[in-house]
Chains A and B, each alone.
Chain A
Amino acid sequence: MGVKERLHRTWACGYRTGARTQYSATGFAGPIRRFFNWLYRPEEHWHEGHADAEEKALTPSHYAVHVKPLFERSLYDGTARLANWVSYWVYRLAHFEQTRYAAMIFNLMLLVLFSYRIFAHQFSWATFALESVVMIISIKVLIIGERR
């Protein structure tokens, strides 16, 4: 177009233009991120600079913000926590000592004895409730024990 141009440095309030006087991506996304705070709940890390003893210089401040994707937070992390909980209990049950082993056999025998009634057609809800309570107590006391 034949535009006559003259070049001149950008005024950066007396400082030299550089990466520190320009907008970074965090700053650019600042207003949108602040507006959507309620949805994304980003993790902000803000280390504020402070003046040194003689108040001559200021240590630099650091600000970092990280938005974890919502699916990762709810779906993946939740599933991971559930898998961890299940594997903990499976480990506890699988790595038992002699007493626990005996207690497990005791509970299995209780189960067989109590379920005999179903096959002998002598089922009643009262006895079922009683036997469930006994089973639960024995499992809790002998097998699960205290939570480590």
Chain B
Amino acid sequence: MSALLLYFLTIVLMLLVAPLLLSFIKGIKMWLLYKRPVSILQGYRNFAKLLRKESIVSREASAITRVAPFLVLSPLLVVLFYLPPAVKGAYYVSFVDAFTITGLLALSTFFLMLLGLDSASSFGGMGSSREAFISALVEPAMVLTIFSVSMMAGDLGVGQAGVNLAEHFPAEHMASFLFAAISFFILLIAENGRIPVDNPETHLELTMVHEAMILDITGVYLALIESAASIKFVIFASLFAGLFLPFGPELAWPLALLVFLGKLFAVALAVALIEVHTAKLRLFKVPNLLGIAIVFAFLSLITFYVLGA
């Protein structure tokens, strides 16, 4: 199959699977809590329902509220094109490095914060303030971690690093690889607003970070923001799968895509297990967790350079 076709097929697959992953996490959590799991297609049903719903916008909101949902979604859609390939032989963008990906994700978060502040409610401001706090600590760690893995893979571009890691697994750098993996997993949890950092199912404003920013929008705009959240999870899961679980792309393309989906669901399963077994951290204890991520990222770089391990 042609390289470009595989490239676009992977992207379409990720877009289609995004709501499924979040519903899968929710289903696993409910099943582990002895409840009857929600349907796995609930994400798609929510999206369709929100598209049909009427949009109620605050009288105090400005044009930002009408524009920001699109600006939250578009950087994430751009990042989808920069991820490491799932199938060997597919086209991939080789020159995009950690700064670009982190910057695009931060751009999406920035417009989400503006959206939260726009509706003149104090809950939105609180969510934006907390999101700024968490992002300020997450972004340096993410740049460090992805750079560390790029060093191990021998190329600064994330796509090329994924291909290099699939060809030659760096068993001689296992220590720094594991440190980077731990750091990236913590960042995956933090950036996607999962339980140790933020509760995605809370109904209490006191415990909200991401939910508080989107309290005052509904309808099409909320559909866009929720799909942005699911695409963000797919991006992080795909980066984790491509960089830290680099087996599978050399198979035939249907099998390789299946393995890729399996890896995404494995990441979702790990996130669900962690969500069930931990409680949400107090806001000012979150820097402790993110500090662990930064420290592991530093350790990864230092063990790679100083110890050569």
Does A56 interact with chain B (Cβ within 8 Å)?
A: no
Number of residues in A with C-beta < 8 Å to the partner?
23
Is there an interface contact between A7 and B59, defined as CB atoms closer than 8 Å? yes
B219 interface contact, C-beta 8 A: yes
Q: Mark B117-156, 1 if CB is under 8 A from A, else 0.
A: 1011110111011101100110000000000000000000
Known contacts A10-B120, A17-B121: A28-B58 contact under CB 8 Å: no
Is A121 part of the contact surface with B, judged by Cβ < 8 Å?
Answer: no
In contact, B56 and A31 (Cβ under 8 angstroms): no
Residues of chain A lying within 8 A (CB to CB) of residue B287: 35
Cβ contacts under 8 Å, A6 to chain B: 54-57
Contact between B59 and A32, CB atoms less than 8 A apart: no
A99 at the interface (CB under 8 A from B): no
Say if the beta carbon of A112 comes within 8 Å of chain B.
no
In the complex, which of the residues B60, B136, B219 has the most CB atoms of chain A within 10 Å of its own CB atom?
A: B60
Secondary structure dominating the interface of A = mixed
Flag the segment in A19-27, A65-73, A125-133 that touches B. A19-27
Asked whether any CB of chain B lies closer than 8 Å to the CB of A80, the reply is no
Given contacts A10-B120, A23-B125, A31-B283, contact A4 B132 (CB under 8 A): no
CA distance A84 to B35 in the complex (A): 74
Report if A4-B125 is in contact (Cβ < 8 Å); known contacts: A9-B60, A10-B120, A31-B283: no
Q: Report how far A3 CA is from B224 CA in the complex, Å.
A: 13
CB–CB B122/A12 < 8 A: yes
Chain B residues engaging chain A, CB cutoff 8 angstroms? 54-61, 66, 117, 119-122, 124-126, 128-130, 132-133, 136-137, 216, 219-221, 283-284, 287
User: Which residues of A come within 8 Å of B, CB atoms?
Assistant: 1, 3-12, 17, 21-23, 27-32, 34-35
